[in-house]
Amino acid sequence: MHWNREFQDNHDVYGFSITGDFLILPATRIFARYDKIDSNILSGESVPWNLANDETGLIAGIEYIPIKNIKIAANYQDHYPAAKNAELASALFLNIEASF
């Protein structure tokens, strides 16, 4: 919960995230994240004050760790805006991490 966003009275934003992962093989795991962000409706208005940034997001993927310092992950990301006239944003990602 974020009250009085940008020091503006009654401009509140609230949300939550749920994350999780599950080891399916010794070096492979699946993961997911769900986010929900909303803003309040100001007195005298009919839509939330921050509607352009209100959204639901979803990330799901699989990660493989072939050796200790290398991680490879493929994931799907989807963003559902609260505004009915906004475009949906979906993407596939392939990430490679090498740590030293």
Q: What is the pLDDT of residue 10?
A: 87
| C-alpha 70: how far from chain center | 24
Reported as a single tens digit per residue, the pLDDT across 2-45 is 888 888 888 999 999 999 999 999 999 999 999 999 999 999 99
Q: Which of 60, 49, 45, 59 is nearest to 82 (CA)?
A: 49
- Specify the pTM: 0.82
* Domains of the chain, residue spans: 16-98
Q: How confident is the prediction for the chain on average, in pLDDT?
A: 94
